[in-house]
């Protein structure tokens, strides 16, 4: 059931007092846990838990042909599926817009940040390149699937090992995994600020997200912003946006620390 | 790439690729209560095959015209993750997943008392995270635990296992390597599901087998199902003990 | 069977054998065996064997006070979601004041929270009423959702647990049998303390000495008693 409006009134009242229900600060994430090896058959995979929200991301690779306007670059294909098991609100049927948006926002965070060296995924210019698939699945939705997806994608890519390219068959050989992906050592992060009542908060749980009137997702790497998506329909003043940017610079440092620590811990 | 072949030694004794005895199950791991939002949920792993199931319901069925005024509806969705196998599966439902969704409904329905829930629906969602054969069986086992965990009235649990034949030898719980077995008569794969008192609610077969051997295979499967049932029961009981800590 | 010995029932398992036992809720009798048909705790009293659910959706009963949300307004009443497999219906005849047939939404609109009593359940559905003190639309407060099977623990024997929470938080608390709880306090901090306490009880509902645990919880978390 969608959270009752009277709860929303209390949430907003509490925010006016500078507080959140679970005692977090406006810029504080719930505990982030990142685990590797969700699936042995993936080239790389990660399970991300932010509080009770859980998302799994898998990397698969195969051989493809380059796009005409990037003959020496591999291809990135990002998809997301909000599984019906993750909440009681999902209608069965085609992937909803939310799934599509998570896929596209995560794609932008990965692509625009320069995190992936696409030229490093080229096998034979104009003919054969690696296709890099990032597939995101939500297992439990307790708010902020967006940022969980971004964290999962980055961790899975960092932990991934490329299959071998079999010259004879022209296909990928999944029996041998050796090389890491050609990635920048700095990881991109996606951070979404949500406007609830008169305030912007980060990492809303489901109750808070139900009263999010608009959100801004910022993709950044080493402090440089490379992608933005503003979602939902309320308006934001330029001054408020400036304040969000100021806060972002502090938040991403904290989140980055937590993510990098866990990625390093699980590097083979 | 060649499939490692298991050998029928000159002594006539058959050896499985992973060294298991013919009626030996792969190591099983099961846990209940893994999806906090769901009314019931469970994870079931058999060897390298891992399935998660989540249950929502009984609840109102939408759209209204799909409601059955005589009895409730069981709706199962089975989906393999794109990265659960070596060759990526394009995300989204496909013919195979739709067939297995239906098979799963048929396997579970006999133990549910749907007449007590007219116009309502019980949704069961199964997701295969890692696949090494026996995915539909793992899915049914996880779903059965999730339904019980959700407090859905059931006559008994449902337990699923695959029996099979490799060349001439009957075996239990085929893994992927065995499914690709090439020697002699090749592989025969027989996934089966049983109620708590040993009645068959689901059966499929791919391969070649005589009626006599088939009877024997079904018996072997029924015995193995009892072992799996014990593990399902323990997982359910542990989910309560766990809270006591 | 004492509380200590309460065992877990699994669907299909034989709970007990004997001519004298009778099958209660969640069980069936085959020959002399009482067989469980639900996952839950086994309870026996006066020869009747029951399985008390630990989990699962709310099963509505006549007389239950529930807290729900208005989903739809029809020409003669309101359809209310009470978190059960069926929605409840509140007829305008069951509201203790005059209701203008053309202005139902002024009394209660879609999305409003309401405390109601189930006065009848039949094949057609669940009938709700507001004709009692304490029932009606809720305009303020905090709603907490717990599993309906844990409600008895939150209320406690003769209300002992719920009174413990009220005294320690200065909040007025209405517990719906359907697992929805309304908390009304002097300030948000008190309301959140009550919410935390209720969720604590939900998590620890199986342990013995729960009352002592809750008293300790309040001591450590700023209870007012």
CA distance C85 to chain B (A): 4
For A26-36, write each residue's pLDDT tens digit.
Answer: 999 999 999 99
**Do C206 and C150 have their domain in common?**
yes
The answer to whether residue C149 is domain-embedded is yes
Question: Considering only CA atoms, which of A144, A195, A232, A207 is closest in space to residue A2?
Answer: A207
pLDDT band at C103 (very low <50, low <70, confident <90, very high): confident
CB contact under 8 A, A10 and C113: no
For residue B157, give Cα distances in angstroms to A53, B42, C55, C221: 29, 13, 16, 43
Do the Cβ atoms of B147 and B55 come closer than 8 Å? yes
Query: Which domain CATH number covers C90?
Result: 2.40.50.140
The larger pLDDT score, comparing residue B135 to residue C187, is at B135
Residue located via tokens 């399970």: A47
Question: Does position A140 have pLDDT exceeding 70, yes or no?
Answer: yes
Chain B hits for C56, Cβ within 8 Å: 39-40, 150-152
User: Residue range C124-141: average pLDDT?
Assistant: 92
Q: Which ranges in chain B belong to alpha helices (H)?
A: 95-108, 135-149, 176-179, 211-244
| Strand-pair partners of A215 | A194, A231
Q: What is the pLDDT of residue C4?
A: 44
Query: Which domain CATH number covers C36?
Result: 2.40.50.100
d(CA A228, CA A209): 19
Tell me which chain A residue has its CA closest to the CA of residue B41. Answer: A85
**Do C106 and C152 have their domain in common?**
no
CB contact under 8 A, A5 and C192: no
> Which chains reach chain A with 3 or more Cβ–Cβ distances below 8 angstroms?
B, C
Domain boundaries defined on chain B: 22-244
For residue B149, give Cα distances in angstroms to A54, B31, B109, C106: 20, 11, 16, 41
Domain spanning B22-244: CATH superfamily: GHMP Kinase, N-terminal domain (3.30.230.70)
Q: What is the pLDDT of residue B127?
A: 97
Q: What is the pLDDT of residue B12?
A: 54
Q: Which two tokens stand for residue A6?
A: 């009277």
CA distance A4 to chain B (A): 17
Question: Does position A106 have pLDDT exceeding 70, yes or no?
Answer: yes
**Do C147 and C134 have their domain in common?**
no
**Do C177 and C116 have their domain in common?**
no
Do the Cβ atoms of C72 and C78 come closer than 8 Å? yes
If contacts are CB pairs under 8 Å, which of residues 11-50 in chain C contact chain B?
11-13, 26, 28, 37-40
Q: What is the pLDDT of residue B9?
A: 44
For B180-191, write each residue's pLDDT tens digit.
Answer: 988 888 899 999
Question: Does position A24 have pLDDT exceeding 90, yes or no?
Answer: yes
Q: 3-state class of B236 per DSSP?
A: helix
Q: Which two tokens stand for residue C154?
A: 């939150």
Q: What is the pLDDT of residue C206?
A: 75
Show which of C123, C138, C153 is a domain's final residue.
C138
CA distance B204 to chain C (A): 25
Chain C hits for B144, Cβ within 8 Å: none
Domains of chain C: total: 3
Residues (pLDDT < 70) of chain B are: 1-13, 241-245
Cβ neighbour number for residue C130 with a 10 Å cutoff: 20
DSSP C165: H
Question: Does position C29 have pLDDT exceeding 90, yes or no?
Answer: yes
Tell me which chain A residue has its CA closest to the CA of residue B33. Answer: A140
Q: What is the pLDDT of residue B1?
A: 42
CB contact under 8 A, B36 and A141: no
The answer to whether residue C58 is domain-embedded is no
**Do C47 and C71 have their domain in common?**
no
Show which of C138, C163, C179 is a domain's final residue.
C138
The answer to whether residue C2 is domain-embedded is no
User: Residue range C55-74: average pLDDT?
Assistant: 92
- The overall pTM is greater than 0.90: yes
Question: Does position C2 have pLDDT exceeding 60, yes or no?
Answer: no
Cβ of residue A18 closer than 8 Å to a chain C Cβ:
no
**Do C134 and C158 have their domain in common?**
no
Do the Cβ atoms of A12 and B102 come closer than 8 Å? no
Which ipTM did the prediction report?
Answer: 0.91
Percent of chain A having pLDDT more than 70? 98
Can you give the residue range of the structural domain that contains C208? 142-221
**Do C213 and C164 have their domain in common?**
yes
**Do C128 and C82 have their domain in common?**
yes
Query: Which domain CATH number covers C162?
Result: 3.30.1370.10
Q: Which two tokens stand for residue A99?
A: 């799934």
Chain C hits for A13, Cβ within 8 Å: 188
For B4-61, write each residue's pLDDT tens digit.
Answer: 444 444 445 678 999 999 999 999 999 999 999 999 999 999 999 999 999 998 988 8
Question: Does position A203 have pLDDT exceeding 90, yes or no?
Answer: yes
**Do C170 and C185 have their domain in common?**
yes
Chain A hits for B62, Cβ within 8 Å: 91
The answer to whether residue C87 is domain-embedded is yes
């Amino acid at each position: 059931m969608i959270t009752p409006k009277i709860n929303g009134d209390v949430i907003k009242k509490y925010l006016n007092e500078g507080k959140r229900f679970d005692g977090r600060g406006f810029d504080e994430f719930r505990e982030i846990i990142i685990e590797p090896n969700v699936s042995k058959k993936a080239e790389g995979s990660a399970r991300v838990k932010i509080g009770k929200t859980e998302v799994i991301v898998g990397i698969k690779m195969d051989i493809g042909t380059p796009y005409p306007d990037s003959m020496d670059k591999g291809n990135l294909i990002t998809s997301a599926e909000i599984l019906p098991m993750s909440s009681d609100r999902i209608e069965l049927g085609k992937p909803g817009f939310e799934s599509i948006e998570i896929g596209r926002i995560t794609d932008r965070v990965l692509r625009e940040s320069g995190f992936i060296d696409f030229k490093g995924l080229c096998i034979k210019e104009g003919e054969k390149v690696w296709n890099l698939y990032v597939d995101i699945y939500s297992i439990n939705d307790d708010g902020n699937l967006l940022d969980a997806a971004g964290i999962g994608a980055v961790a899975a890519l960092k932990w991934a090992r490329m299959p071998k390219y079999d010259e004879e068959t022209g296909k990928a050989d999944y029996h041998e995994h050796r090389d890491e992906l050609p990635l920048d050592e700095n990881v991109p992060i996606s951070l979404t600020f949500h406007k609830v009542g008169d305030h912007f908060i980060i990492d809303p749980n489901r109750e808070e997200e139900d009263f999010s009137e608009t959100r801004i997702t910022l993709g950044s790497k080493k402090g440089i912003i490379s992608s933005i998506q503003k979602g939902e329909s309320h308006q934001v003043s330029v001054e408020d946006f400036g304040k969000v940017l100021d806060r972002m610079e502090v938040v991403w440092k904290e989140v980055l620390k937590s993510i990098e620590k866990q990625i390093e811990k699980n590097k083979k | 790439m060649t499939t490692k072949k298991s050998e029928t030694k000159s002594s006539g004794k058959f050896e499985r690729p992973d060294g298991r005895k013919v009626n030996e199950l792969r190591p099983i791991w099961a846990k209940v209560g893994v999806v906090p939002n769901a009314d019931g949920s469970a994870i079931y792993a058999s060897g390298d095959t891992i399935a998660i199931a989540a249950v929502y319901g009984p609840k109102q069925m939408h759209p209204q015209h799909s409601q059955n005024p005589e009895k409730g509806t069981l709706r199962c969705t089975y989906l393999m993750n794109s990265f659960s196998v070596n060759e990526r599966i394009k995300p989204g439902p496909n013919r195979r997943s739709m067939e297995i969704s239906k098979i799963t409904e048929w396997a579970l329905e006999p133990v549910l008392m749907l007449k007590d829930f007219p116009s309502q629906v019980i949704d069961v969602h199964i997701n295969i995270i890692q696949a090494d054969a026996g995915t539909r069986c793992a899915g049914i086992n996880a779903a059965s635990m999730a339904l019980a965990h959700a407090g859905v009235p059931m006559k008994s649990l449902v337990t699923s296992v695959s029996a099979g034949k490799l060349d001439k030898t009957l075996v239990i719980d085929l893994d992927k390597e065995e499914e690709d077995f090439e020697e002699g008569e090749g592989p025969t794969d027989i996934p089966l599901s049983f109620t708590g008192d040993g009645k068959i609610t689901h059966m499929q077969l791919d391969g070649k087998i005589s009626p006599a051997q088939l009877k024997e295979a079904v018996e072997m499967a029924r015995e193995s199902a009892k072992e799996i049932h014990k593990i399902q029961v323990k997982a359910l009981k542990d989910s309560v003990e766990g809270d006591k800590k | 069977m004492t509380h200590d010995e309460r065992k877990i029932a699994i669907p299909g398992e034989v709970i007990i054998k004997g001519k004298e036992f009778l099958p209660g809720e969640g069980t069936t009798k085959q020959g002399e065996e009482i067989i469980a048909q639900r996952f839950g705790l086994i309870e026996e009293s006066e020869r009747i064997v029951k399985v008390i659910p630990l989990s699962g959706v709310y099963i509505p009963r006549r007389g239950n006070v529930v807290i729900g949300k208005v989903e739809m307004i029809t020409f003669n009443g309101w359809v209310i979601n009470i978190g059960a497999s069926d929605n409840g219906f509140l007829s305008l005849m069951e509201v203790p004041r005059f209701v203008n047939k053309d202005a139902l939404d002024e009394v209660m609109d879609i999305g409003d929270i309401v405390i109601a009593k189930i006065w009848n359940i039949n094949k057609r559905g669940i009938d709700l009423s507001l004709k009692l003190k304490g029932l009606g639309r809720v305009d303020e407060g905090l709603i907490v959702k717990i599993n309906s099977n844990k409600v008895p623990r939150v209320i406690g024997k003769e209300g002992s647990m719920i009174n413990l929470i009220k005294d320690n938080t200065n909040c007025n608390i209405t517990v719906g049998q359907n697992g929805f709880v309304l908390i009304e306090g002097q300030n948000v901090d008190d309301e959140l303390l009550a919410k935390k306490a209720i969720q604590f009880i939900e998590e620890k509902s199986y342990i013995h000495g729960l009352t002592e645990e809750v008293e300790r919880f309040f001591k450590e978390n700023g209870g007012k008693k």
